[in-house]
Structure 1
Amino acid sequence: MSDSASTAPSASLLANLREELVRYAPFAQMQLEHVERFLAAARQAYYAPGEQLLAPADGVVEHLYLVRQGRVTGRRGLAETAGGFQMEAGDLFPVGAVMGARAVTASYHASEDTFCLLLPVAELKSLIADSAPLADFLNRRVLRFLELSRQALQVAYASQTLAEQSLEAPLAALVRKAPIGVSADTPLAQALALMHERRIGSVLVFDEDDGLRGILTRHDVLGRVTLAQLPLQTPVAQVMTSPVHSLTVDHSAHDAALLMSRHGIRHVPVTEGGRVVSMVSERDLFAMQRLSLKQVGTAIRAARDVEMLRAVAQDIRRFAANLLGQGVRARQLTELISHLNDVLTERLVQIVAEARGIDLGRACWLAFGSEGRSEQTISTDQDNGLVFESADPAAERPRWLAFAHEVNEALDSCGYPLCRGNVMASNPECCLSVAEWRQRFGEWIEHGAPEDLLKASIYFDLRPVAGRLELAEPLVAMISAEAGRVPRFMRQMALNALRNRAPLNWMGAIETRDEGGREVVDIKLRGTALFVDAARLYALAHGVRAVGTRGRFEAIGRALGVEPQESEAWIGGFEFLQMLRLQVQIERGSREAVDAPDGNPNLVDVAALNDIDRRVLKESLRVARRLQQRMELDYQR
């Protein structure tokens, strides 16, 4: 770069630059006067194709660079073999070196004719002191991109959910209802009179120290008082429900809805500092949304046959679309979808069992893969199995297989396609006794062939769904305790995971393929799966029992001793890719996506993404690549 190629912007250029900058984060969130300060203190520089901008030998970085036009490629360390990273118009670099007052660790070159704005570090520090959006962005760049993407998505869907509040609202933000309670020795007559007088559906029961002991609801009165013909002088303590499911003011309405649905309850006490300060009811949550979690869950549980379940299954998709419009995050959304899928599966298993005279006290329906991790998206096939109790498994297996076949077919009719890999309970290899499952898992861990590694990556994400849930505990315990103790198995799992690489080319740009004139990326196979595989590997290595990818990353981040920002980046990158999958699937329709000509509901058209989402996609893939490089260092030496 010659001296003549570096100049202070003219007045007319400043006006044009201002319009350009406010299209990008963080300038779009900054005050206009701060944007103008940035421009006034910056100088513009031109770099020819192949020209070097920065290198480690240059010493401590003196400027923050903003790419105005063109592209800049960085290469360093393992990136020399795994590929570089690329900046395009609107990108700031080298953020880490500038904030750390150090030299860069990569060499930066112009990939084409490139114009950059260079801001002196001293001017940057002054601006950071006055501009919170800029400071926050530079300190938490990936996480800020994720938040901006979520906000943009919420705006895009706002017309669908204008009349609805978000389930993300903390319980502290809801109108507080003073808790109504009685002492444990209060006669039923007095408690019921209080409920009638206040027109409430429940009263809390406190001990002498104001500690919460239980709750009495109208449902309790019918089942435990009226039908049991108890005298009204009976103390409340004898008929109350205890212990009580409660939440704190820091929990969200989403947490309350999920708690109610999981336990079939209608009231949840809200605590602050250990004391009950409010009550949230099913009616409160229903008022927040036209189609409620409780409403869908109740409809599923009330279904009498498969035909009714087919109709209700469509509500799960509509409910997910509504929540996406409310800006609910990927983790919560996939957790809700998986929960409702669990409820539907449980009810369907019960319906088929009753029709066939099957005793569910002797078996447990298992979820594997994404359902096992509670990470199901809208378009998802079946991954399930059955574990049963038997002294003679071979003799009893045909009956269990016939039962499982009917359940698998019914799930397919409800919109959950049959697994193309035949990972289903109707497959004799997935319908085993406890001892048989343990023997199979043990063989994979001790002597696993290459095809067994793929099976382990599906089956080891295991969770019980219906029937006698405790039958799954020996399997879960074995996976968490044994897998990480066999170095050969762990290395094989790592090598298997590393066969699928982050779709970034040698320059660091997103690597796409042409699909009917669209430049697409399989956001599952070459996106979320990279994070899922890494989280599973390190969870097995450290005996982490968590099954969900987020929970695994939180636990292994602590176990590996990484900085919180790094584990937060793993979680943020994974959840952004999950949200992108959900968005595509909801827009296309779940079953339509599965039956589409390309047969793949996870293809994202990169060119069709907005500027923020395209940047976050690239950042997320870069995080995935760094995570894979960590796996290489840990397991390929």
Structure 2
Amino acid sequence: DEIASKMDVEAYEEGEIIFSGKPKKLYVVFSGNVGLYSNGELVEEFERGDIFGLGVYENAKAIANSDAVCLTIKHEVIKKVSATNKDFKLFFDKILEKDLKGLISLIEGERVGEVLMKKIGDYVTKKPVFCDPYTTIRDAVVRMELNGVGSIVVVRSDMSPVGILTNRDIRKFVIHGESKDEKVSAYMSSPVLSLEFDRPLFEAYQIFTSKRVNHIVVTRFGKLYGVVSVRDIMSELEPYTSISILHRRLSKATSLEEIKAIHEKVIETIKALAKRGLGFYELSLLISSFYDLLTEKVIELTEKNLGKSLPSYVWVHMGSSSRKEQILATDQDNMIIYENEAGELREFAKHINESLDFVGIPKCSGGYMAMNWCLSIDEWKERFKEWMTKLTPENIRFLTVFLDLRAIYGKTKLLEELEEFIKNNVNAQVLRYLANDAVALEPPKIAGIRSVTEFDIKKFGIYPIVNGTRVLVLESGILETTNTRDRILKLMELGVLQESFGKTLLEGYEVLQNIRLKNQVEGKGNLIKLRELSRVNQFVLRDIFRVIRDYLGLLKGRFFVERGI
């Protein structure tokens, strides 16, 4: 907290002197280029993520070679925090690793991993109730009752724990005991499971799950400090564990009403996880896994209620669901591919779309649902052939929707056959038109006198990356990979994108999705108001938008659409 509160964000115009002689701050280049000059000669350059200002700079000047933004911390703050706060190492590592996403998380709030790393001592809420080994069972139970606790720690004369007497141990006494004057040493659980107060929360969680105990004694330098219960720990971890419980419940659901109730609880759990710091990539995988299973259950129930055999078909997801990039605000995007005859498939699809809407996944406002898009494999091939031959604005829109496909249920070979057809029929002109569509929306200007005050982060930040990446994977013939992150990694592997640029693009994409996720959790949708963002996030967005413009420039040059079609 002290580091975050003492950090400044400073902007420098090209040619401005940042420091001359001995610097008084540590600088981290967030954007732009800074040169270190000695006797008028350039001796070193610093770019995004580089650190300067820690060494001795004799007769040196640091000058902004371009407009630059730096995160700065005064040396006196660094010395103070280094002496008193071991977490500074984590902060410093984030800088050294150029993990600016991690740096944002460190400044603005904890991550899920950090919850698990909290000290177990932080969960001791009461003074410990204790006795010595020679205390009678009667006296120990009275002490427990008076203090309203479910256990009493048995300690030696030096306050080091030797055992613990719990309600479970007392039940053993009730069954086997002979006198209330028997000593606790005869019935206590010993040796006692204990952790030092500064051990992380996840160690307590591991003990509770592996040893099947209900209490852990917490010590401080070997002396009794307190007791934590499994209830204390699980209440902290509840959102992380309940999602798997709900997933199991969904797999056993037998009615739409039950599925709807589970879905409502999952949405609340996802919001809780987002508020606790779980990021977009982790959450989107959780949500996609849940929605895939939910769709399967709805289809299975519909098939069962229909009571008739259906032609061979595959249920396919499009859009963000296909890419496994759904977050809180999601609707239906689906289609059916069948083999020969439709039979009752169209009516069947309508029932499923209606049922999905009932359980909480609304219908697509654009009508991209299986009830409207239920075609045979040959009909789908004809549609794609028409779209890729007649490159009208409407057909380009269809291609951007239907080129992200993922099989959810049924005969997956039908989708594989369609994807193979698409690969064999894509040509340079199709790619050029799709690229022209991908570069049509550029990120807005968010600094200076022409800066916008608000913008749609999905439309102007996320879509350019998603759409541009789709064109590149289509060119490379890897349609089976649908997730944008996986696509970018694949393009890096194939050498289509340089590794350094690909990593920067991935980092920017995740940050954009995390900002969008936070906005949706707060009920604000995709509209971002600049004044509501932190200064750090505003500077991050400026840098990400620069990267997106570079990406769009790459697409324009690669597919010859600098001046449009």
Coarse TM-score class (shorter-chain normalised): 0.5 to 0.7
Question: 1:490: which partner in 2?
Answer: 431
Contact 2:336/2:370 (CA < 8 Å) preserved in 1?
yes
Does residue 351 (structure 1) correspond to residue 312 (structure 2)? The answer is: no
Question: 2:393: which partner in 1?
Answer: 450
Does residue 39 (structure 1) correspond to residue 27 (structure 2)? The answer is: no
RMSD: 4.4
Does residue 619 (structure 1) correspond to residue 543 (structure 2)? The answer is: yes
> What is the SS of the residue equivalent to 2:408?
strand
1:278-289 correspondence runs (5 A) = 289=238
Number of matched pairs: 408
The equivalent position to 2:530 in structure 1, one of 606, 615, 626, is: 606
What letter corresponds to residue 366 of structure 1 in structure 2? Answer: V
What letter corresponds to residue 364 of structure 2 in structure 1? Answer: C
1:52-67 correspondence runs (5 A) = 61=42
Question: 2:510: which partner in 1?
Answer: 575
What letter corresponds to residue 321 of structure 1 in structure 2? Answer: K
- Compared CA separation, residues 19 and 376, structure 1 to 2 (3 A): closer
Question: 2:409: which partner in 1?
Answer: 466
Q: Residues 569-623 of structure 1: CA distance to partner in whole angstroms, max 9, x if unpaired?
A: 11111111111111111222xxxx6xxxxxxx21122211122222222222221
- Compared CA separation, residues 300 and 604, structure 1 to 2 (3 A): same
1:357-368 correspondence runs (5 A) = 357-359=307-309, 362-368=312-318
What letter corresponds to residue 147 of structure 1 in structure 2? Answer: G
1:369-388 correspondence runs (5 A) = 369-388=319-338
1:522-541 correspondence runs (5 A) = 522-541=456-475
Q: 332-341 or 609-618, which moves further after superposition?
A: 609-618
Does residue 22 (structure 1) correspond to residue 32 (structure 2)? The answer is: no
**TM-score scaled by structure 2?**
0.62
Does residue 440 (structure 1) correspond to residue 393 (structure 2)? The answer is: no
What letter corresponds to residue 365 of structure 2 in structure 1? Answer: R
Distance across 2 between alignment mates of 1:615 and 1:287: 33
What letter corresponds to residue 452 of structure 1 in structure 2? Answer: N
Question: 2:440: which partner in 1?
Answer: 499
Question: 2:102: which partner in 1?
Answer: 147
Alpha-carbon shift at residue 635 of structure 1 (Å): 1.2
1:622-633 correspondence runs (5 A) = 622-633=546-557
Distance across 2 between alignment mates of 1:552 and 1:370: 14
What letter corresponds to residue 309 of structure 1 in structure 2? Answer: I
The equivalent position to 1:546 in structure 2, one of 463, 478, 481, is: 481
Alpha-carbon shift at residue 19 of structure 1 (Å): 10
Alpha-carbon shift at residue 108 of structure 1 (Å): 4.0
Alpha-carbon shift at residue 38 of structure 1 (Å): 3.4
Question: 2:492: which partner in 1?
Answer: 557
Q: 339-348 or 557-566, which moves further after superposition?
A: 557-566
Distance across 2 between alignment mates of 1:337 and 1:530: 23
> What is the SS of the residue equivalent to 1:436?
helix
The equivalent position to 2:357 in structure 1, one of 412, 428, 438, is: 412
Q: Residues 89-131 of structure 1: CA distance to partner in whole angstroms, max 9, x if unpaired?
A: xxx8796999xxxxx9x97469xxx9999x9xxxxxxxxxxx9
Task: Using CA pairs under 8 Å that are at least 6 residues apart, name the structure with larger relative contact order, 1 or 2.
Answer: 1
Contact 2:105/2:111 (CA < 8 Å) preserved in 1?
no
Distance across 2 between alignment mates of 1:150 and 1:116: 15
- Compared CA separation, residues 164 and 41, structure 1 to 2 (3 A): closer
What letter corresponds to residue 530 of structure 1 in structure 2? Answer: P
Q: Considering only CA atoms, is the larger Rg found in Structure 1 or Structure 2?
A: 2
Query: For structure 1, which runs of at least 5 residues remain unmatched after alignment?
Result: 1-17, 26-35, 43-52, 66-91, 99-103, 120-130, 166-252, 254-283, 513-518, 594-600
> What is the SS of the residue equivalent to 1:583?
helix
Does residue 521 (structure 1) correspond to residue 455 (structure 2)? The answer is: yes
> What is the SS of the residue equivalent to 1:292?
helix
Alpha-carbon shift at residue 367 of structure 1 (Å): 0.2
**TM-score scaled by structure 1?**
0.56
Alpha-carbon shift at residue 465 of structure 1 (Å): 0.8
What letter corresponds to residue 148 of structure 1 in structure 2? Answer: L
1:144-293 correspondence runs (5 A) = 144-152=99-107, 154-155=109-110, 289-290=238-239, 291-293=241-243
Query: For structure 2, which runs of at least 5 residues remain unmatched after alignment?
Result: 11-20, 28-33, 54-61, 75-87, 119-201, 203-232
Distance across 2 between alignment mates of 1:435 and 1:115: 58
- Identical positions, percent: 24
